[in-house]
Amino acid sequence: MIAKLLEKAVAGERLTPAEGLQLLESHDLVALGRAADAVTRRLHPENYRTYNIDRNINYTNVCTAVCDFCAFYRGPKSDEGYVLSQEQLIAKVQETVELGGEQILLQGGLHPKFTLEWYEEMLSDLKRRFPTVNMHAFSPPEIYHFTKVNNLSLHEVLSRLKAAGLGSLPGGGAEILVDRVRNEITRGKVMTDDWLDVMRVWHQLGGHSSATMMFGHVETLAERIEHLDRLRQLQDETGGFTAFICWTFQPDHTDMSDVAPAGSFEYLKTQAVARLYLDNIPNIQSSWVTQGLKMGQLALLYGANDMGSLMIEENVVAEAGTVHYLTLDQIRDSISELGYTPRQRNVHYDLIPVEHELKAVNANRLRDQQLLQLV
């Protein structure tokens, strides 16, 4: 039933939203996986698959938005709210660099009081101390929040942050880019068009970013396709997305804990369809952080060409009760077991020099040994 659609996608022809929906409604996971893998091999014929080393630093958990799916945030009046000091940030970045990392994923809640100058100072100080580290920072909800708190345009906010050291934008806070869904699961947070506008302006400034989707909650299959289509349209316009990452909603410890979590079948199917549909986004990352080692590895046969990040630190998903930690050797071995050479890359998917890569491997092995001795 879907064979002709899969042939069309594998040949490089663009799928329509109706055709994408038809694929998502299919249960032929093997056929979808084969087609997605064929597209990946066409786009990435090289004999390697990649990964990144970075750290997700959440500089604050104080947030004015109310997201039913989030177990991490704390309201402005909560006794459990925190803001990391500059000394704490520096120590975390320093450790990341020592383990071979060349990027920091810096995100927080929507803090009600901090001015743009506060963020500029944080960025410029980190960039001055770590000039070679890419600051992959501030998701679209944060950027949009900055415009409201400071009464400034998107262009000015992003231009100033770029001048202060912002290197690339993470695609967080997308969830599902359909206002019906966003209205149901969140309050006080950026809506679809404004999320896309943040990315549009950043791309117009010459910046790159990633795109994400969190699925498996209140959205329909058609709304998943609508999300992918909005991303594809913007990519046609700007070409600024380097990668797409999707993961399943983790309901534990959230106000949506009654939602039955989507399983591995749904994850692999959705990622495969994303690879077939997003014909203009070059890279797809596996989400082992939510799926675990084996599913993360299997995702490399269902459309992904990248294992994502080592994630030296991750807090948001962990707060929802999903805790998957992999060592660098496990990530590299999962790639090797599929017959590919593991290679470290940067945010632009340029390969890191082999000498740096080997130093990172040795540094991480030493750290893993030290951690085992503490257990």
| Binding residue numbers for S-adenosyl-L-methionine | 69, 175
Residue numbers belonging to the annotated binding site:
63, 67, 69-70, 139, 175, 287, 309
d(CA 213, CA 45): 26
User: Which residues line the annotated binding site for (3R)-3-methyl-D-ornithine?
Assistant: 139, 287, 309
Comparing C-alpha atoms, which of 330, 336, 323, 229 is closest to residue 273? 229
Binding residue positions for [4Fe-4S] cluster: 63, 67, 70
Contact call for residues 125 and 93 (beta carbons, < 8 A)? no
The angle subtended at Cα 264 by Cα 263 and Cα 267, nearest 5°, is 95
E strand residue ranges, 310-353: 341-344
Instruction: Dump strand ranges (E) for 180-248.
Output: 186-187, 209-215, 241-248
In the numeric block, the tokens 């990668």 are attached to: 243
Residue 372: how many CB atoms within 10 A of its CB?
8
**Cβ atoms of residues 178 and 17 within 8 Å:** no
| Buried residues in 234-260 as b, exposed as e (16+ CB within 10 A) | bbeebebbbbbbbbbbbbeebebeebe
DSSP sequence for 32-66: HHHHHHHHHHHH--SSEEEEE-EEEEESB-B-SSE
- What does the DSSP assignment read for 70-114? -SS-B-TT-TT--B--HHHHHHHHHHHHHTT--EEEEE----SS-
HSE of 197, CA atoms in CB hemisphere, 13 A: 15
